[in-house]
Amino acid sequence: MYGKLDRNPRELFSRYMGNPILEAGEWPYVINSVFNPGATQLGDETVLLCRVEDCRGFSHLTVARSDDGKTDWRVDSEPTFSRSKEFHEEQWGLEDPRVVWFEPYERFAVVYTSFSPAGPQVSLAFTDQFEEFDRQGVLLSPEDKDASLFPRKFDDRYVLIHRPIVRGEQHVWISFSPDLVHWGDHEILLTRRSGWWDDAKVGLGPQPIRTEEGWLILYHGVRETASGSLYRVGLALLDLEDPTKVIKRCDPWVMGPREDYEYRGDVPGVVFPTGAIVDETKGELRIYYGAADSSIGLATADLDQLLDYVKNC
Ligand code: BMA
């Protein structure tokens, strides 16, 4: 048993013993690295839409499927969703997708970073089976990253969490739209905190996770150090009916780079979760994260314990 307030937050998540679960060496074609995947459940399969960096330095997205979400990954033999010449904003590649089952359309919505020479932007595509993707184009102007739709509408409006750069500041914002084209009522949701572990910038992690207590938000917070950036994970809880209302935001980070594979890679000192799946039968939250921008790790948490922790922090 653990005390609600004295539990070490860094024990809330357990890393999977078989980490990293996906690496460049086991990819069916030659790549530099695989990291930052979107994650969802499709029937009996866990689907990861992985960011893959090719050996020119551009990213595309490739699907990996597994029956238990942990082992025996079946990776598409070629890129599943890559940049299209017709879409100027994708000229420098596609990165960091977040996936939700989008109730209004009964399709999966993928919001990803489309990297244009003018800067990163957030783009939307719909898919049914993760084979074909219907592009909807760019949602907001650059620079913007780390975005996800909510799976449902609120008062007949679509809602997006994203991370624009405004006056050099990198906070998490929330925006609203009647049609997925025109966006407004922009508000800051979570700020970076001067002097804290999330001092330099913050950005959404995985898609918002619906729980009985509210929308559970995992976000990354960055501190600049003498040896580079440290990317760690924090928690917040948003009101179920009004996601502009932050019910809780925890002070400490709950997961940070620790293992060798989180420190050894193209960008050392990075854990960057972008996908989450709730296993309702086990009451378990699985998060999929990029480790050092070089591989994919899996960590799990007991959802009730996690929510208890957030409510009491
Ligand atoms: C962020 C994003 C992520 C990346 C992280 C660490 O700005 O570009 O894709 O994983 O930096 O390098």
Summarised one tens digit per residue, pLDDT across range 108-159 is 999 999 999 999 999 999 999 999 999 999 999 999 999 999 999 999 999 9
Judge whether 10 lies within some domain: no
d(CA 298, CA 294): 14
Cis peptide before 45 (omega within 30 of 0): no
- CA neighbor of 135 nearest in space, from 180, 202, 169: 180
**For the CA atoms of 131, 19, 266, 130, what is the dihedral angle to 10 degrees?**
10
99 CA → ligand 1 middle, Å? 18
Closest ligand 1 atom, residue 231 Cα: 6
CA of 156 to the centre of ligand 1 (A): 33
In the chain, the number of structural domains is 1
Q: Which residues contact 101 (CB under 8 A, 6 or more apart)?
A: 40, 108, 109, 151
Q: Within a domain: residue 124?
A: yes
| Residue 8 covered by a domain | no
Residue 55 located in a structural domain: yes
Residue 17 counted as domain residue? no
Q: How far apart are CA 96 and CA 308, in angstroms?
A: 29
Q: pTM for the full model?
A: 0.97
Q: Would 278 be classed as within a structural domain?
A: yes
Q: Give domain status of residue 3, yes or no.
A: no
Residue range 163-186, pLDDT digits in tens: 999 999 999 999 999 999 999 999
**Structure tokens, 13:** 């998540």
Q: Please say whether the beta carbons of 279 and 4 come within 8 A.
A: no
Atom of ligand 1 minimally distant from the CA of 96: 9
Pocket mutation for ligand 1, best pick of 113, 272, 274, 289 (most atoms within 8 Å of C-beta)? 272
What CATH number is attached to the domain comprising 146? 2.115.10.20
Q: Is residue 64 part of a domain?
A: yes
Give the residue numbers spanning the domain of 93. 24-311
